[in-house]
Chains A and B, each alone.
Chain A
Amino acid sequence: MSAAKRDYIRPVDFRSGRVDMTHGGGGRAMAQLIEELFLAAFDNEWLRPMNDQAVFALPRGADGGRMVMATDSHVVSPLFFPGGDIGSLSVHGTVNDVAMSGARPLYLAASFILEEGFPLADLKRIVESMARASREAGVPVVTGDTKVVEQGSGDGVFITTTGVGVVPDGVEISGDRARPGDQVLVSGTMGDHGVAIMSFRENLEFETSVRSDTAALHRLVAAMLAAVPGIHCLRDPTRGGLAATLNELARQSGVGIRIEERAVPVRPEVSAACEFLGLDPLYVANEGKLVAVCAPEDAGRLLAAMRAHPLGRDAAIVGEVVADPHCFVQMETAFGGARVVDWLSGEQLPRIC
């Protein structure tokens, strides 16, 4: 009777290997991918037992408090762009959605939909970038899932992340709390992410020094709340840009908002790129910026707290909340006229003339 040989498992080929259907099939290949890639990258005490769920304790003092949960799917194209990639973006996006309630983000869950044929080297790069972003943010990925779809049914990789957090007592932040007289602040320059992405899109490639602003904003939010616990609204102006966010806040609160074009910070490179693409920076996406609304007497302190934080260096007061039953967002143009800043209709499409 011969002794059973020890299993030899060939390591996953992260150099030239590709995702195939077995990586999502529930068999040995899937287990191996999870162990060698996801577990290795995200390694933490909640993930390590390899259960289908994570069991975690709430921070001391949080029992009986309010929890926040947010989820966000990421389908960005291209997957890698100046300043980030879909991995870091999927962490920042959800951390920010949790943080915009004023909450401290605690844990993340991540779900991957991979397309058959996707290079494992790229997947590794994405997962490692995600792990780095999660470590830097101090928000661990504690559970996850992986599915593989047939070639042609996906666009390389889709990542959905879900986050939970705890709201400190006394913090009441909601999009319906803007009141006439309130001041509107932004944490920095508008449109960086969208322009960085567009500069890499197929058939649009143009050279620019603009990088995506993708960043986790929860520490900036904590610094802001330390200065002004009574912030009324917070929101990150992602898709649809500042224009969409202001319109959302105006509608939720049943108010109008007036901003001043000159006060909105935009990098010269971003306005130049928008100029030749026929786009408007107010509608271009951001991934590391926030919009805050607070009482007029708090605005000075809030602005100072934002500017003292590296992610709020270019913060500015851009406008104010007004009474308006039509919930219009209006802008005084740098030219000296006035106009509506409307919702984006459809996608922002380039003009031809």
Chain B
Amino acid sequence: MRYVDEFRDGGLARRIAERLALAVEPGRRYNFMEFCGGHTHAISRYGVTDLLPPEVNMVHGPGCPVCVLPIGRIDNAIEIASRPEVILCTYADTMRVPASGGLSLMRAKARGADIRMVYSAADALRIARDNPAREVVFFAIGFETTTPPTALALLEAVREGLPNFFVFCNHVLTPAAIANILESPQVRAIGTVPLDGFVGPAHVSCVIGSRPYEYFAEEYRKPVVIAGFEPLDVMQAVLMLVRQVNEGRAEVENEFTRAVTPEGNARAKALVAEVFELRRSFEWRGLGEVPYSALAIKPMYAAFDAERRYGIAYRSVPDNKACECGAILRGAKRPQDCRAFGTVCTPENPIGSCMVSSEGACAAHYTYGRFRDAPQANRRGAEGAKERASPAGGESIPPAHRKPTEVA
């Protein structure tokens, strides 16, 4: 497949792996957070960690749009969908996220709510046109990537004078989440989450550009390399990060030049600015209340705002006690550190949101990587992969407690 296979070439991957092996300084640890779920997914799906040197540690970030949705917001969506006049349109990923009372959108649908899976906001708009007697609500979630299409759909509804199209807005902002992680005590003071740099978002950066990350590089002295979602992109970005760390630089570099410019997509940004305004605060799963981290619909478009129309009151709901999604989303824990992982929490019966989306750290590890937790299993991957080196302290770790490379 042209324009895709080039970025998944095994031969090129080996060449970058060789360069990486030469670039890392022996004994030094490189802890890089890939912010986006798209990167997490690519790393697991293509087995990228098997090609990284043992000195490099990838930490999963919170950039999975489904994972960061708090229970309370799913409860709100179910509340809206339960109104007989409403058709709730949602991205398929969101269907299985657990809500209060053992519900999810999937289960609410089975109980009679009219919930439809759509591929885009434009599909929801079409459903609104086709069902003039019903009220069609688009459950808008996601980072800067999915925000412009929501804005476009809303403005199209305005233009057409569609009286039955509404948006339940849950769009969130990437820079606010990165700042929240860097400000967290685990990273700043306690140092339990060592972070030496970021693999920066791919699709988000197409919209917002590379400029917004310059603040992090400067203020927190952390290198950022914006990378595409293909496995070679990730390898190349890691190599660029290793070089920055070695040279003591903390800059924003762009590996994804085929799509990302410093300024981003001006038209998309203008659309977002036209329709949305900042929320004072928004609850994220894992990060808690994060100030100025999400968008709401501007008052001038209030007629299309589902929150206003149905008088939605937000109620924060704590996660299941056994669930470590919060710590995992902050990079403080790995999926297999959670007691619920792979036992009561599986992709079929997710307890936490990280097990729901294929971009979630837990689902990615469960689906693609959990054979690494079973050292006695006969592994082909081990032939090409390195055995885990002892950590700097030198004490040997029993195999069962070894950090699997791709989630350490």
Instruction: Report chain A residues within 8 Å CB of B96.
Output: 346, 349
The one of B44, B46, B376, B380 that contacts A330, using a Cβ cutoff of 8 Å: B380
In the bound complex, do residue B47 and residue A338 qualify as a contact, i.e. CB atoms below 8 Å apart? yes
Residue total for B at the interface (Cβ-Cβ under 8 A): 65
- In Å, the complex CA distance between A332 and B363 comes to 19
Instruction: Report chain B residues within 8 Å CB of A325.
Output: 376-377
- Given A204-B119, A338-B380, CB of A328 within 8 Å of CB of B47: no
Q: Which of B33-41, B213-221, B279-287, B302-310 lies at the interface? A: B33-41
Instruction: Report chain A residues within 8 Å CB of B232.
Output: 335
The range of chain A's interface size is 20 to 34
For A203, give the chain B residue with the smallest CB separation: B123
Q: Does A153 contact B (CB under 8 A)?
A: no
- In Å, the complex CA distance between A328 and B369 comes to 11
The one of A340, A345, A350, A353 that contacts B36, using a Cβ cutoff of 8 Å: A353
For A346, give the chain B residue with the smallest CB separation: B96
Q: Does A104 contact B (CB under 8 A)?
A: no
Instruction: Report chain A residues within 8 Å CB of B36.
Output: 353
Shortest CB distance B147–A (Å):
12
B residues 212-246 touching A (CB-CB < 8 Å)? 231-232
- In Å, the complex CA distance between A326 and B406 comes to 20
User: When each residue 330-353 of chain A gets 1 if its CB lies under 8 Å from chain B and 0 otherwise, what string results?
Assistant: 101111111110100110011111
For B229, give the chain A residue with the smallest CB separation: A353
Q: Does B109 contact A (CB under 8 A)?
A: no
Q: Does B142 contact A (CB under 8 A)?
A: yes
Q: Does A232 contact B (CB under 8 A)?
A: no
The one of A337, A342, A346 that contacts B51, using a Cβ cutoff of 8 Å: A337
- In Å, the complex CA distance between A326 and B17 comes to 30
- In Å, the complex CA distance between A334 and B45 comes to 11
Q: Does B60 contact A (CB under 8 A)?
A: no
User: When each residue 290-321 of chain A gets 1 if its CB lies under 8 Å from chain B and 0 otherwise, what string results?
Assistant: 00000000000000000000000000000000
In the bound complex, do residue A203 and residue B369 qualify as a contact, i.e. CB atoms below 8 Å apart? no
The one of A258, A326, A335 that contacts B10, using a Cβ cutoff of 8 Å: A335
Instruction: Report chain A residues within 8 Å CB of B141.
Output: 352
In the bound complex, do residue A336 and residue B14 qualify as a contact, i.e. CB atoms below 8 Å apart? yes
Complex A-B, nearest 10 residue pairs according to Cβ-Cβ distance, in ascending order: A337-B47, A338-B381, A345-B347, A349-B92, A337-B50, A339-B368, A335-B46, A336-B10, A352-B91, A342-B367
With A338-B382, A349-B358 known, 19 other A-B pairs at CB within 8 A are: A203-B118, A203-B123, A268-B1, A272-B1, A322-B378, A326-B374, A330-B380, A335-B13, A335-B232, A337-B51, A340-B367, A340-B369, A340-B370, A340-B371, A342-B347, A349-B95, A352-B146, A353-B65, A353-B142
Chain B residues proximal to chain A, CB less than 8 Å: 1, 4, 8-10, 13-14, 17, 36-38, 41, 44-51, 64-66, 91-93, 95-96, 106, 117-119, 123, 126, 141-143, 145-146, 203, 231-232, 346-348, 357-359, 363, 366-371, 374, 376-382, 384-385
